[in-house]
Amino acid sequence: MAKYVGSIDQGTTSTRFIIFDEKGQIVSVSQKEHKQIYPQPGWVEHDPDEIWKNTVDVIKDAMGKARVASSDIASVGITNQRETVLPILRSSGKVLYNAIVWQDLRGSECIERLKEVKSEDEVRDKTGLLYSPYFSASKIRWLLDNVPEVKMHEGDPDMVFMTMDAFILYKLTGKVCTDMTNASRYMLMDIRTGNWDGDMLSLFGIREENLPTITSSFGIVYGCTLPGSPFPSPVPVSGMLGDQQAALFGQACFSKGEGKCTYGTGCFMLQNTGSELFQSSHGLLSTVAYKEEGKAPCYALEGSVAIAGSLVQWIRDSLKMVNSAKELDELAESVPDSGGVYIVPAFSGLFAPYWRSDARGVIAGLTGFVTRAHICRAVLESTAFQAYDIFSQMELDSSIKISSLKVDGGMTNSFPLMAFQSDILQVPVIRPLIVETTALGAAYASGLSVGLWKDTDELRGLWKEQTRWNATMDDKERRKKVGFWKKAVSRTLDWV
């Protein structure tokens, strides 16, 4: 019997292929970055052909390093950057335009126009989401209005607007579908029925035939890899989850009230709310956590932050202030605090709980005392404060006291960030032994689908704690810092 599961993790800045064994341990990893394309301020694109080439390369590389054959792999799962969308012809595979990335703001005009047509309360009730260019629908509308080749195929069922999970699945198997976690991010799906919604499609002027079929997240095999794929012999593809839902799954947050926060390019906190759909009144989103074939969907409350790890990249690449994330960490640890500096990185506006696409970033509190080290510390603290904004609203919405926070993602390697996060939240922050929880979640979903693991109780037994940070900050000091953070945020909202 095949004993490994492969996981394709198609992220915002790179694509990885990770091979896991039956105990959920990493056997082999390969990763490759792709180019970030910025046609103009507020616009972000990716080249789908480059991403597919990188996907092929990392699969071959990881399998080669581990000396794993296709016959050794029970199945392959897919997880992906959500909301990022591209137009493709299903008959030929021709890509009609670059993928428009989740951070992209070009749908803002469309969103502002539609606010006059349908109330935000109606949209939230139907989709669980708030009006924002963050979601796929306004990006699709922009493509239909502004790209001649896309406009030419409007209404032609051969054209499909795919998120990256659907794109990778299509390239591997020829199938055209997306799972419910990703479909729930289009702003076009009825979150209760799991179907494309006629009213929302009409609102955006998008036809259902131009969208992929919605399927379950696991408990189903979508298809087998085709000849010419990076797998020499057929491998079942089963298990698809948007990246944040995959991290929730990989953190074994299967019970109501359990949650996690992922610190990557952005920062995303999700809390499992079980079969109960909570409609947020504090700027959070209702989303599908996962959908098992034959069962009702499991829901989650979510708070999203656009800029977290990408702020570190900006300091490194654009400002040339440090040469690496490690150097930034070392500088941040060399000072006891940020010297009164607060950075609000509203490069793409502010996401939860503010939802202001017109906000712009600020660096507040500068004095002659401030050094490069203070700026570096403020960079890290910025992410922790943004997570605090979500955490506090999540407790209000769910009426569930969150006693600890499971964390994952690349930024959890930053000890000063994690220690400060615990201080600001006043709860333990816990990092698992396997921090690649996004890829692990997709692997779990895939392995469950083909019987490699029996059930979620077995998966819960595989989760192991590695590091725990406990709060040490005085509550008076914490309140003072949070107060200054709120003041800095107010400056970004006053920009226009």
Distance CA 317, CA 41 (A): 17
Domain presence at residue 344: no
pLDDT for the residue numbered 203: 96
What is the per-residue pLDDT across 211-248, written as a single tens digit (0 to 9) for each?
Answer: 999 999 999 999 999 998 999 999 999 999 999 999 99
Residue 396: predicted pLDDT: 82
pLDDT class of 495 with cuts at 50, 70, 90 = low
pLDDT at 453: 92
Identify the band that residue 424 occupies on the pLDDT scale cut at 50, 70 and 90: very high
Residue 400 has pLDDT above 80, yes or no: no
Q: How confident is the model at residue 306, as a pLDDT?
A: 83
Q: Would you state the pLDDT for residue 496?
A: 54
- 59-85, pLDDT tens digit by residue? 999 999 999 899 999 999 999 999 999
Report the C-alpha gap between 79 and 252 in whole angstroms: 16
Question: Residue 177 is part of a domain; what is its CATH number?
Answer: 3.30.420.40
Between these two residues, 353 and 79, which has the higher pLDDT value?
79
The answer as to whether 108 is a domain residue is yes
- DSSP per residue over 31-64, as a string? EEE---B-SSTT--EE-HHHHHHHHHHHHHHHHH
Residue 447 included in any domain: no
Q: Which residues have CB under 8 Å from 309's CB, separation 6+?
A: 263, 264, 265, 266, 383, 409, 410, 411
Least confident span in 14-18, 301-305, 372-376, 473-477: 301-305
User: Does residue 105 fall inside a structural domain?
Assistant: yes
CA 79 to chain centre: 9
Determine the pLDDT at residue 28. 94
Q: Residue 105: pLDDT above 70?
A: yes
pLDDT value for 351: 84
Nearest-5° angle of CA 327, CA 329, CA 332? 110
Q: Grade residue 491 by pLDDT with cuts at 50, 70 and 90.
A: confident
* 414 inside domain: no
Q: Which residue has the tokens 């199945």?
A: 75
CA pair distance 358, 346, nearest whole angstrom: 9
Structure tokens at 140: 């699709």
User: Which are the contacts of 436, defined by CB distance < 8 A and separation ≥ 6?
Assistant: 9, 16, 18, 26, 29, 250, 408
Whole-prediction pTM value? 0.86
Q: Are strands 14-20 and 26-33 parallel, antiparallel or unpaired?
A: antiparallel
Q: What pLDDT was estimated at residue 350?
A: 85
Alpha-carbon distance of 198 to 392, in angstroms, equals 35
Residue 2 has pLDDT above 70, yes or no: no
> Does 226 reside within a domain?
yes
- pLDDT attached to residue 1: 57
Highest mean pLDDT among 44-53, 430-439, 456-465: 44-53
SS3 label, residue 88: strand
> For residue 353, is it within any domain?
no
Alpha-carbon distance 296 to 338, whole Å?
A: 47
464's CB contacts (< 8 A; 6+ apart) are 432, 433, 434
Identify whether the C-beta of residue 34 lies closer than 8 Å to the C-beta of residue 50. yes
Judged by DSSP in three states, 342 sits in strand
- Number of residues that make up the chain: 496
Phi, psi values for residue 21, rounded to 5°: -95, -175
At 480 the pLDDT is 95
Instruction: Quote the mean pLDDT of the chain.
Output: 92
Q: Determine the average pLDDT of the residues in 460-481.
A: 93
Q: Looking at the 3D structure of the chain, how many domains does it have? A: 1
Range of the domain at 89: 4-243
Q: What is the pLDDT of residues 110-133, one digit of tens each?
A: 999 999 999 988 999 999 998 989
What's the rounded Cα separation, in Å, for the pair 340 and 337? Answer: 8
Instruction: Note whether residue 187 is domain-resident.
Output: yes
In which element (H, E) is residue 390 found?
Answer: helix 372-398
Contact 161, 205 (CB under 8 A): no
